[in-house]
Amino acid sequence: MKIVLGGPPHSGKSCLREGLKQAIKAIPNVPYPYVITACPDGEGAWFQEAVHNNVENANELKKDHKKGFTYEFAEHVAKGVENCKEPLTLIDIGGQISKENEIICKHATHIVLLAGDLNELPAWREFSKLINLQIIAELHSNHKGTTDKELTFCESGICHGSIHYLKRGDLSIQDRPTVRQLAQLLVQMEDHKDWIIKDMTTFYIEVEKDNKLKIGFGRPAQNDEIVKDVEQRLKQLIENGDIAGGEIIKINGPATLPVAMVFVHKLGHLYQAIACYDPKLAKYVIAISHGDKYSVGDLIE
C-alpha cells in the first residue's frame, strides 16, 4: 500500500505523518513504515523530533533543506513512489492541488485527507478521484480542540474523525486515540503476513541469495541501542559464514546514519564493493568500491 497524506496547507500533515509512523512502529510484529517526503519544504522525517529538541536549530536546518517545487522535483519523487516495493509506505505531499502533486500521486494506491477547514475537502475528493486513489479517511485537524473524535465508518467505507492540536515538536501525537486507530487500520488493510518480523530485536538483517541483505527496523528503540544490535547480528552472520566476503554485497532496506556506519565498518573490508538499493532509481547504487570492476555511483540491478 502506498498511502498519500493529502489536504490543504497548514493542516498538520507532517505532524500526522510522524505520529502515524511512530504509532505503527509500536504495533507488535510490524516493521518500520517507509516514508516518502514529497514536498520540498525542508521538513524531512527528522523535523518533528528536531523541533522538540531545539526549535531554532530545526528551523535553520529547514531553511537549508528547503527547495522549489518544480516539475523536475515532482518527476524525481514520482519515480520513488512508483519503484518503492515496501509493503506500507506513507507519502507526505504539499498542500496544493496541482499538476506536480498529480504526477507524484499517480502511482500511489490510497489517500488519507486531513483539513482544518472541512469545506476544503470536496476539492481534495475530486483530486483523489481524478488519479484513482481510494480514500481511507477524512479527518478534521482541530487545532483548538482538546480531545480527539475517534474514527467512525460511513456507508461509503470512508472513516471520519478528528485529531486535536497537531503541533510541530509534539512527540505525543502518536498516542492520540485517532492516530492509534488509523495506524491499526492501515496495518490491518495491508496483508503483512509475509513481512512480520521474526526476530523482534531493534533491527533485523536477513541474508538472501546472490549476496543480498534485507534489513529493517524492529521494535522501537533509539540509535544507541540499535547500533549494538546491528553490530552483534553482523558479527554472528560473519562468524557463521553467512556473510563470507567477496566481490560485492547488496543491501536493501531503511537505516539511520549511525546504523549505516556500522555496516560500513563491519563489511567494508570483506567486500570489494557495497551497494545500497534506491527505490527512486529502482537500482542498487555502488556506495563503496575498493576494486576495479565497480566505481562509486555506478547503478546495478
**Is there a contact between 88 and 186 (Cβ–Cβ < 8 Å)?**
yes
**pLDDT at residue number 130:** 93
Q: How confident is the model at residue 109 (pLDDT cuts 50, 70, 90)?
A: very high
Q: How many CB atoms lie under 10 A from the CB of residue 41?
A: 17
* Per-residue pLDDT reduced to its tens digit, 208-242: 888 999 998 876 678 999 999 999 999 989 988 99
Fold for 2-189, please state it. Answer: Rossmann fold (3.40.50)
pLDDT(110) > 80: yes
Q: Which residues contact 36 (CB under 8 A, 6 or more apart)?
A: 77, 80, 81, 84, 89, 90, 91, 92
**Is there a contact between 254 and 34 (Cβ–Cβ < 8 Å)?**
yes
Long-range interactions of 234-241: CB distance < 8 A, separation 24+: 234/205, 234/262, 234/263, 234/266, 234/267, 235/266, 237/205, 237/207, 238/266, 238/270
The torsion angles phi and psi of 146, rounded to 5 degrees, stand at -120, -10
Does the predicted model carry a pTM greater than 0.75? Answer: no
In this structure, what C-alpha cell is assigned to residue 154?
460511513
What are the domain boundaries of the chain? 2-189, 203-300
* Per-residue pLDDT reduced to its tens digit, 32-55: 789 998 887 757 666 667 777 887
Mean pLDDT value of segment 141-154: 89
CA angle 270, 272, 276 (to 5 degrees): 90
**Angle separating helix axes 177-189 and 13-25, nearest 10 degrees:** 70
